[in-house]
A = this chain, B = another copy of it.
Amino acid sequence: MALRKGARRLSPVKLRLPPPALLAVFYIIFICVGAIFLWLPISHHGNIGLGEALFTSASAVTVTGLVLADTGAAFTGFGQAVIAVLIQLGGLGLMTFAVLLLGALGIPFGMPQRLILREDLNQTSLANLAFLARLILIVALVCEGIGALLLAVVFVPAYGWGGIWQAIFHSVSAFNNAGFALHPDSLSQWVGNPLVNIVIPVLFILGGLGFIVIGDIYQQRKWRRLTLHSKLMLIGTLVLILWGSVVFGALEWTNPGTLGPLGTGEKLWASWFQGVTPRTAGFNTIHTGAMHDSSTMLTMTLMLVGGGSASTAGGIKVTTLFVLILATVAFFRRQTTLHAFGRSIGLEEVVKVMALTTLSMLLVLSGIFIISISHDGQFIDLAFEVTSAFGTVGLSRGATGELDTLGRCVIILMMFVGRVGPLAVGFFLATRSVPRVKYPAGQIYLG
């Protein structure tokens, strides 16, 4: 009851709409305002209509990174700055909102002591919101600042002082998992550059773990003390990165369109990068369209999984996949309860996971179906593009540029639903029912 009271108190005092609807409205406003800014003549060099501006704004606010035009060539410095601001608002706004929401709903998570919004305290307030937003912003700015400084070491010698802006833009884009780059081939020029191959992935992996996990690690330091959610996220991320990198490398090693012409060192760096970028980062260092069908499929499955809850990443989330597999294994071992790291996971979680996964799969399949009706391109390219949009990844095999208005609308809708939807679902997950406590249940976040 205390949990529900918390949720109720939040609603009538500060918000008239239910929080997920409020979030959706905020995002629509962000997107429209962004589109108008990007449409202004000072933002671009003449080739951006309102449709392109809207698409770019939606892609930036949802931190997806699918583009119709080359960001570096089509937009002026002002336009690029608008995009960076939209990315920061979209990425951090959602993260703040998610953490606040989870806290307001009484779900415990690892945070600095002062901020633990326990259900029995009901201490959700505007002061806390401001403090929380500031804290998340500080974490983000520190990460992005360090990232920009390190990237400047690469970009300034290559581009002079303009390289500073490049370093800032790519650092912001990376931490927010936005995938926007200022070069038409993304980061392919630096396919073998160790600094770029370490700084960019570290930024988007940190952003994709989510503030809750970062806060937990910062606060607890020791593995044993981490929450179940943090442990699952870290192990899951590690396994998915290893799987993605090793299999990508094995499948593409001799492909003349991707790894084939590179030296061994570059091949290894590229395999690493292409193995991590599907966790919804969206940068690429090789030509995505030249990938073999098998590695394309691998990338699609990784894009669907995505990163962590309440992070800058998209997808159905690592924890959702984990519960899915755990429940399946437990079922065939005839266990009626799920366990992980000495904590039990309730059957209710399983139902949540199923609802979330079923809905996600239906949305992705519907999107591919609708686009395939009106477009005659390669099926796998269309499927890849829709998956990339739903997972807010931004990797592209080139089909996005060739879509008609209907196709663009589907992609915009997919990006929006892929970004706002899981949190709306997360709201249902958190408020649906009060669990009957029988054992010390480990809370994990789904969606």
Q: A interface vs B, CB < 8 Å? A: 251, 292-294, 296-298, 301, 324-325, 327-328, 331-332, 334, 336, 347, 350-355, 358-359, 365, 368-369, 372-373, 376, 378-380, 382, 428, 431-433
Q: How far is the CA of A355 from the CA of B329 in the complex (A)?
A: 8
A369 and B298 contact, CB distance less than 8 A: yes
Partner among B292, B293, B433 whose Cβ is within 8 Å of the Cβ of A334: B433
Are A332 and B355 in contact, CB atoms less than 8 angstroms apart? Answer: yes
B379 A293 Cβ-Cβ under 8 A:
yes
For A368, list chain B residues within 8 Å (CB): 297
A373 touches B251 (CB 8 A): yes
A327 in contact with B347 (CB, 8 Å)? no
Q: Which residues of B contact A358 (CB under 8 A)?
A: 324-325, 327-328
From B297, B347, B378, give the contact of A369 (CB < 8 A).
B297
Interface pairs (30), CB distance under 8 Å: A293-B376, A293-B379, A294-B373, A296-B379, A297-B369, A297-B379, A298-B369, A324-B354, A324-B358, A325-B358, A327-B351, A327-B354, A328-B355, A328-B358, A331-B351, A331-B352, A331-B354, A331-B355, A331-B428, A331-B432, A332-B355, A332-B428, A334-B432, A336-B433, A350-B350, A350-B351, A350-B354, A353-B354, A378-B379, A379-B380
User: Top 6 closest A-B pairs, CB basis?
Assistant: A331-B355, A379-B380, A294-B372, A294-B373, A293-B372, A328-B355
Secondary structure at the A interface, as helix, strand, loop or mixed, is helix
Residue of B whose beta carbon sits closest to that of A374: B294
Residue of B nearest to A380 (CB): B379
Would A347 and B354 count as touching, CB distance under 8 A?
no
Integer count of this chain's copies in the complex: 2
In the assembled complex, the CB of A253 is this many whole angstroms from the nearest CB of chain B, namely 12
Q: Which of these, B294, B298, B359, B379, contacts A328 with CB under 8 Å?
A: B359
Q: How far is the CA of A332 from the CA of B301 in the complex (A)?
A: 25
Instruction: State the CA gap A301–B365 with chains docked (Å).
Output: 9
Residues of B within 8 A of A293 (CB): 372, 376, 379, 382
In the bound complex, residues from chain B placing their C-beta under 8 Å from that of A365 are 297, 301
Least CB distance, A303 to chain B, in whole angstroms: 13
Excluding A334-B432, A347-B351, 10 further A-B contacts by CB distance (< 8 Å) are: A293-B382, A294-B372, A294-B373, A296-B379, A327-B351, A328-B358, A331-B352, A331-B355, A334-B428, A350-B354
**A327 lies within 8 A of B301 (CB):** no
Residues of chain B with a CB closer than 8 A to A428's CB:
331-332, 334
* A359–B328 alpha-carbon span in the complex (Å): 7
B residues less than 8 Å from A327 (CB atoms): 351, 354-355, 358
Docked Cα-Cα span, A431 to B333, in Å, equals 12
A358 to B324, CA, bound (A): 7
CA distance A428 to B328 in the complex (A): 12
Chain B positions within 8 Å of A380 at CB level: 379-380
Q: Which residues from chain B contact A294 at a C-beta distance below 8 Å?
A: 369, 372-373
A369, closest chain B residue (CB):
B297
The reply to whether A328 and B347 contact each other, CB–CB distance below 8 Å, is no
Q: Which residues of B contact A328 (CB under 8 A)?
A: 354-355, 358-359
List B contacts of A376 (CB < 8 A).
293
Provide the residues of chain B in CB contact with A347, threshold 8 Å. Answer: 347, 351
